[in-house]
Structure 1
C-alpha cells in the first residue's frame, strides 16, 4: 500500500522556495556537498541552509555522509564534514493511484519468457498471473471471507475495490492511461494479475472476468 500521507509530506516539503532551491542544487551535483557549498550556491546563510537541508533529510529527500573534504586522515586532519546528496528513494504521488511500473515489470518478464520460446500471448498471461500471485502471497490480511480479503488487498494496490454481494468491482484502474491506448492488451494483463492476486491469497472459488463498465476498471471478480 502506498504511504500517501508520507509521500505527500515529503514532496510538500519542496513547496518552500529556499528548500526547493537547495534540493535542486544538491540533486544536480555529481558529488555530495557541504552546507557551506549549498548555502553559497543559493545565496543564503549557512545556518539557514543547514536548517532546510536537515529538513530534507528528515523527509527522506536527501541523504548524508561524513567525510573529510581535505582527504587527509589521522591526527590533525580535522573533523569530518557533514555532506548531503540526493536520496535513492523514489517518490510519486498520483490521484487516483496509478502503478505503471507494475505493467512495465510484467511486460519485461513476458519479453524474457518470449525470448526463451514461449508464445507472446502465453508469456503475457503467465507474467501477469505470476506477479499477482506473488503480491497476493505477500499480502497480510486477517479477513476470512475470500471476496472481502481480495477487495482489501486490491484496494491496497490502488484499485479502490468494492464488495457488492458476490462480486468485487474496481472503481479505479491503476493502469488507466495505458488501458485507454492499448485496451485489449492492458485489460487482459489486468484480469490475469487480479486472478493471480486471488490465487496467491488462497481465495478458492473466485474468478476474475473482463466485464467493462463505464467509470470502473474492466475487471470484476465473482464467487464461482
Structure 2
C-alpha cells in the first residue's frame, strides 16, 4: 500500500466516533492504557474497547506494549497485560498530494552542509536532491521494466505522470506552495530529484527538462524515441497515469 493510501486508511479509522474517543483518551494518558482502564473510563463494553483499540493499533495509530501492572516478576507474577499508547506515527493527508516534509528535510540538510563546507547552498541542495532521487530509485525492483518503474515511482511521490504525445507531463507538483513563492530554488531542487530517480533506475529512455506550466510540476519528461500507444497498459485515451510499457528501442 502506498504511503498516501496508508495515511488515508489511518484517518478513516478515526472517522468512527467510538474509535476516535478511545484514541483521544489513550493519547491524553501519561502511561499506557489497558482495555479495562479504557472501558471503565469511557463506560464502554470491554469487547467493544478491545476491538477498536486493536484496529487503531493495526492502522499504526497506537503502539501495543506488554507489562505487568503490579510490578512483580518471576513465577506467580501473572501474565503481562496488553497495553496501548499513542504511537509516533504522524498522519497528514493532502489532496492533491504534497511532500513538504521532504522539501524541508532537503533544504535543512543543504543549509547545514553549506555552513560546514562553505559551498553554495543552492549547489548543495541540488546534490542532496539528486542523491535523494537515486536513493528512491534503489527501492524499486530491478526485475521490472525501467520505464514502468520510473512511472510508478513518480506516481508514488505524487507527481501524477500522464502521457501527452511523446512526452510525460507531471500533472501535480508535490511542492506546490513552496514553488509558488520560491520557484527558481524549488524547481531546481525538483529537477535534480527527478534526475536522480531516472539515473538511478537507468535505461528509462527519458530526460527531464524544466518547462514551467501553470498548476503543474515545472518538470516535463521527454522520451528519446517515439512512444508506442499499442503496448500493454496504454489506455489510448491520453490520460492514463501510470504507463507499464517503454518506448521502442
TM-score w.r.t. structure 1 length? 0.88
The residue that corresponds to 2:244 in the other structure is none
Maintained 8 Å contact 2:131/2:196: yes
Q: Deviations over 1:158-177 (max 9, x none)?
A: 10012334422100111112
The residue that corresponds to 2:40 in the other structure is 40
Distance 1:206 1:16, change over 3 A: closer
Structure 1 runs, 4 residues or longer, greater than 6 Å off: none
Deviation at 1:80, TM superposition (A): 2.0
* Distance in 2 separating the partners of 1:15 and 1:49: 16
Q: Which has the higher helix share?
A: 1
Distance 1:189 1:143, change over 3 A: same
Contiguous gaps of at least 5 residues in structure 1: none
RMSD: 2.2
The correspondence of residues 1-224 of structure 1 with structure 2, limited to 5 A, is 2-115=2-115, 116-140=117-141, 142-144=144-146, 146=147, 149-203=149-203, 206-223=206-223
Deviation at 1:189, TM superposition (A): 0.8
- Count the aligned residue pairs: 222
TM-score w.r.t. structure 2 length? 0.80
Maintained 8 Å contact 2:191/2:219: yes
* Distance in 2 separating the partners of 1:203 and 1:105: 29
Higher mean C-alpha displacement, 196-205 vs 17-26: 196-205
Contiguous gaps of at least 5 residues in structure 2: 225-249
